[in-house]
Amino acid sequence: MHTPALEHLVGAYFHQDWYTEHEDEWLTLRDFLEGEPHLAPLLPGEIKQLLIAMPSEADIEAHLSALGSCYTVDPGTTYRDWLVEVAARTEEYLVHG
């Protein structure tokens, strides 16, 4: 699966020290969206593709980890839920800035 935007987001923005650079994951996402305007439009489609290809939560978590993500979801949520929200916020940003 070719997902350059998702790979860059999780590998370069959600690295092991991401939480020391931003207050939360949404500011990290905003940094990605503003800093990578050529990749940002690809992100929602890549996330949708990933969620179709990987119905298992364990597979999604393992895949994100393999891409270099050090993000951990909050208790009571899932990586699927988080990615759906990432896609939604990205689409909103692309429309309204």
pLDDT at 23: 80
pTM here is 0.93
Q: Is 16:25 a contact under the CB 8 Å cutoff?
A: no
Instruction: Read off the pLDDT of residues 47-74 as tens digits, 9 standing for 90 and up.
Output: 999 999 999 999 999 999 999 999 999 9
Residue linked to tokens 């692309």: 94
Please report, in tens digits, the pLDDT of each residue of the chain (97 residues total): 899 999 999 999 999 888 778 788 999 999 999 999 999 999 999 999 999 999 999 999 999 999 999 999 999 999 999 999 999 999 999 999 7
